[in-house]
Structure 1
Amino acid sequence: MESSTTPNFDPYAILPFSAYRSAECPEGECCYSLMHFIESEKFRGVDESSRLFLLGQSDPDDFLLETGVIHPSLVRGDWADVRFALIRAGMWMQLVQHQVELRDALLQPGCSTGIALLDEVAADIYQRLTTSLETGGELRRVVIAGDLTIDNEAIFDTFDHLFQIRQPDEVCVSNEAGVAELVHRYAQSRYIPVRTFDIAAGVQACATALLDKGTHVFTVSKNETSDSALANDLLVMAAAQGKVAHRFALDA
């Protein structure tokens, strides 16, 4: 990861990546650049139409023009509290999806973005990746799946309990309905990076892909056998691979 020169990364550079899932974009919202993600998140929970409008500005000049007229009074009230975690999640997701392009920038120490806060985030991510190479510091990529019929955000309490000691570096989840959809909502609300896998590839293929990246597997279901074939297969396959795997039961 070492470099003899100061690496640079332009957060405005068009390098599209898939972020959190939404009703409009069940496959994950497309962010043309890191700044598209950051600037649009300023409106989450305040003005959804403006958030989606900014995400859709594919022309860099138009995007800069639109963001340049945003008045501080229009930005969400908790911006100062969430911005570091938010930026970190966006940078992580873009990095995961563009490792080759960003190898000489975000995967280097001392990366400069031209924006102090983003430089801090880049340094934090680099430090975490460096620590992950040490014994005991390995990345925690958590796979979560479960019932297709659960649609109650009370399940967030289960996730909070699961991650109370250590938040995952990344959550790996399918684009199924039910628990998977709630995982997407939860990850966005806590700004945990998400890696999404397409169930349309088939249950077996999706489970294999999830386990290829995931280090821990957790499923949530009302009964011993879930109505999600993916959740059932994940538990069996994870156990066979010797990975940490556990099912959380919900009241029927």
Structure 2
Amino acid sequence: MESSTANTPIYDPYAILPFAAYRSPDCPEGDLCYSLMHFIESEKFRGVDDCYRRFLLQQEAPEDFLLETGAIDQDNVRADWVEQRFGLIRAGMWMQLVQNQDALRNSLLQPGCSTGVPLIDKVAADIFSRLVAANESDNALRRVVLAGDLGISSANVFRTFDHLFQSRLPDEIYISDEVGLADLVNQYALTRYIPVRVFPCGGDADACAHQMLEKGTHVFTISRGEESDSGLANRLLALAAEQKKVSHRFSWNE
């Protein structure tokens, strides 16, 4: 008689399945994570030792990565690790999943997926539950596109984000690799471990806007004037209106 676990969907958090995570000064398009565990182990050192965090992300060979992380002194990780770990694991798994849906269709996109790690099992179950609930018309996924002035540099803009998301956090935030507001959005998402997806613009605002709105559900821009100094922000507002998607421009005064 076959074991009851024979048909259990299995997901290996150590499997090499690269995805782009949050932006960093060295990687405005998003840090490359070779596996979910690369993301998790490196996040233990965010705000504590960013050089070591980047070093862990660079360990492409599974054997080197396992040797390095097996020797980590858990007393030296970030002080808020226990409080933050569920949210950060969820964000990492979500980002990996949306960027690798075909590869993960038979594991994370199935009920009862097993990862071999109880906490990660709970995260997988939570994400699957959210995706099932998203089939309800009044509970669809909320993918918020945020863009704005290239010259905005004050974290005071976080108050505007708090206002935007006071009733419900987005399932994902879409940003570009621009400077200014996009970088601040990335920082804000990190403080709450909201999954992000970074879209490289390459100077083509129209193409980038179309890519972001292919699945983006809401568009919010922040600028000092009616016209932003970001051509992408202007194009996003116009395109959202054409597509009849929820959109709004917030005026910014530092």
Instruction: Give TM class, smaller chain.
Output: over 0.9
The percentage of counterpart residues that share the same residue type is 62
1:19-98 to 2 correspondences below 5 Å? 19-98=21-100
**Mapped partners of 1:191, 1:56: distance in 2:** 22
Aligned to 2:228: 226
Cα offset for 1:160? 1.1
Aligned to 1:198: 200
Cα offset for 1:5? 2.1
Aligned to 1:119: 121
**Mapped partners of 2:196, 2:81: distance in 1:** 21
Instruction: Look up the SS of the partner of 1:172 in the other structure.
Output: strand
**Mapped partners of 1:77, 1:195: distance in 2:** 27
Cα offset for 1:49? 1.2
Aligned to 2:131: 129
**Mapped partners of 2:81, 2:253: distance in 1:** 36
**Mapped partners of 1:26, 1:148: distance in 2:** 14
Give per-residue Cα distances to partners, 1:203-239, cap 9 Å, x unaligned.
1000111111100000000111111111111111101
Moved more, 149-158 or 116-125: 149-158
Residue 164 of structure 1 aligns with an amino acid whose one-letter code is Q
Aligned to 1:108: 110
Cα offset for 1:201? 5.8
**Mapped partners of 1:244, 1:48: distance in 2:** 37
Aligned to 1:172: 174
**Mapped partners of 1:210, 1:201: distance in 2:** 15
**Mapped partners of 2:199, 2:51: distance in 1:** 27
**Mapped partners of 2:155, 2:218: distance in 1:** 22
**Mapped partners of 1:201, 1:49: distance in 2:** 30
**Mapped partners of 1:200, 1:97: distance in 2:** 20
Cα offset for 1:53? 0.9
Aligned to 2:238: 236
Moved more, 123-132 or 233-242: 233-242
Normalising by the residue count of structure 2, what TM-score does the alignment of the two structures yield? 0.96
Runs of 4+ that moved beyond 3 A: none
Structure 1 residues not aligned, in runs of 5+: none
Cα offset for 1:179? 0.6
Normalising by the residue count of structure 1, what TM-score does the alignment of the two structures yield? 0.97
Residue 37 of structure 1 aligns with an amino acid whose one-letter code is F
Residue 75 of structure 1 aligns with an amino acid whose one-letter code is V
Instruction: Look up the SS of the partner of 2:60 in the other structure.
Output: coil
Give per-residue Cα distances to partners, 1:114-169, cap 9 Å, x unaligned.
00000000000000000001120100000000001111111111111111110000
Instruction: Look up the SS of the partner of 1:6 in the other structure.
Output: coil
- Computed over aligned residues only, the root mean square deviation of the Cα atoms, in angstroms, reads 1.0
Structure 2 residues not aligned, in runs of 5+: 1-5
Question: Quick one: which of 143, 147, 150 aligns to 2:149?
Answer: 147
Cα offset for 1:193? 0.5
